[in-house]
Homo-oligomer: A and B are copies of this chain.
Amino acid sequence: MEDIIFGKNSVLEALISGREINKILISKNIHSDVKLNKIKELAKENGIIFQFVAKEKFIPYAEYNHQGIIAQVSPINYTDLDEFLEKPHNNESLIILDGIEDSHNLGAIIRTAVCAGVSGIIIPSRRSVQINSTVEKTSAGAINHIPVIKVNSLSNAVEKLKNSDWWIIATDASADDNYYDINYDGMNSAIIMGAEHAGVSKSLLKASDFIVKIPMLKDFNSLNVSNALAVIIFESVRQKLVKNKVK
């Protein structure tokens, strides 16, 4: 599937037909008209980010008839959090990604999540890489086996989860508890992984039920985020299999 839609007519049509759009970029140099206003109106209605950017942003697309507007289309359909929570959940896990910027990391996380039987991945609509063709490719097809839930506010999502019998586990290098001190079996757990450099944001740490670290045996605290997630999520798998004596 195409990653980018070019020009007012095509972007407007994509919005009307309800295609999943990650972001709309509009050149600061184009004039407002009925179509552009309609685009902005529909984007707002559907919670789709649109940004006014310098015309230089369009240089990579010079060969296309973009008319100063492009839409970055998602290769997948995102899942709605409310719809996800309406279904029954029992002893499941979710992953919340707080500002992952690297497409390869997101792809690797999706692969690992699918292998570990994770029920869904939550990403924010801003300040995060979206599902693009690089993520799709790096996930080695795993993207088709797990719902990705896009939310406008991670804080609101965490509150909703807490009100729906989910326990929130955040990761932070300065935590007191180790990730294996948590008993993952018998509860729905949502694990928050932070951005590559900044970590989990303070407000989310505060909202979490548990904060855990991965103990490092060398003073070199730089585990890749997908590797860190793999360690934690497979500890929860281990606990569930060992306790339920599954081989």
Contacts and interface: CB of A to CB of B under 8 A. Distances in A.
Interface of A: 104, 108, 111-112, 114-117, 140-142, 145, 176, 178, 180, 214-218, 220-224, 226-231, 234-235, 237-238, 241-242, 246-247
Count of identical protomers in the assembly: 2
A161 to B, nearest CB: 21
A207 B231 CA distance: 27
Given A217-B116, A218-B145, A220-B145, A227 B178 contact: no
Given A104-B104, A231-B230, A180 B238 contact: yes
Nearest to A230: B227
A26 to B, nearest CB: 34
A115 B220 contact: yes
A65 to B, nearest CB: 35
12 contacts: A108-B224, A111-B227, A112-B223, A117-B217, A141-B220, A145-B220, A178-B241, A215-B247, A227-B227, A227-B230, A231-B231, A234-B235
Given A114-B220, A142-B222, 12 more contacts: A104-B104, A111-B222, A112-B223, A116-B216, A116-B217, A117-B218, A141-B222, A145-B220, A176-B247, A180-B242, A228-B230, A231-B234
A116 to B, nearest CB: 6
Contacts of A140: 222
B180 A221 contact: no
Nearest to A227: B230
Q: Which of A115, A141, A215, A221 has the most CB of B within 10 A?
A: A115
Contacts of A145: 218, 220
Q: Which of A176, A214, A229 has the most CB of B within 10 A?
A: A214
A193 to B, nearest CB: 13
Contacts of A237: 215, 217
A69 B231 CA distance: 44
A115 B241 CA distance: 26
Contacts of A117: 216-218
A247 B179 CA distance: 11
Nearest to A138: B224
Contact of A111 (B115, B178, B224, B230): B224
Contacts of A214: 115, 234
